[in-house]
Amino acid sequence: MLSECILSGERTRLRPADERDLSAFVKWLADPEVRYWIALPEAPDLAAEEEWLEETRAQEDRLAWAIESSEGQLLGTVELRNVDEYEGRAELGIAIMDKSCWSQGYGSDALRSVLAHSFGELELRRISLTVDADNARAVRCYERLGFAREGVLRAHRLREGEPVDALVMAILRQDWQASLLPPRMDQREGDDPSLALP
């Protein structure tokens, strides 16, 4: 389903995706460079994007948002899939599809909002994802947010006809909460923890 809640970060605003977004998605996904990191071998047409929107609205275990800059510029999408409230877990997917906005921190900001919502209002305990093992930019982003590498899925998907390994990464609620705390006196940057007093 499309999340009805609106999430705001420092640089992004997440709102329910709707029909007005689809033409931009079609345009961006026609670019092979954008699709390179997404498990999407062919460019979708407008009908395919309309079908994605309807399927997303119908799935009870899926939350999807459109990502906008704080100025209202559409940037991409972020989703929680396979949301299992009993087990307290979900899978994450994100795509900044506007190439002019790559490597500017929008994805990180959007993910902070989704993680805060997931571990707060939704009371989940675990968020996982898979990412191409050679997608260094995305892996660095996830690690900065507190995701840990949990394993490798060998030859997980075909990208341009070639098998690609994927990393499984996850963050637990307690990891997220710990990342929000200020560093302890004996762990501040530049201090040598081996010299700290007990």
All structural domains of the chain: 7-127 (3.40.630.30)
| Residue 177 in this model has a pLDDT that exceeds 60 | yes
Confidence band, pLDDT 50/70/90 cuts, at residue 191: very low
- Per-residue pLDDT reduced to its tens digit, 27-85: 999 999 999 988 888 899 999 999 999 999 899 999 999 999 999 999 999 999 999 99
| Residue 190 in this model has a pLDDT that exceeds 80 | no
Q: Closest Cα to residue 49, out of 76, 77, 20, 25?
A: 25
DSSP string, 28-83: HHTSHHHHTTTT--S---HHHHHHHHHHHHH-TT-EEEEEEETTS-EEEEEEEEEE
> Could you tell me the two tokens for 169?
């990464």
Share of the chain above pLDDT 90, in %: 80
Q: Closest Cα to residue 117, out of 2, 1, 29, 9?
A: 9
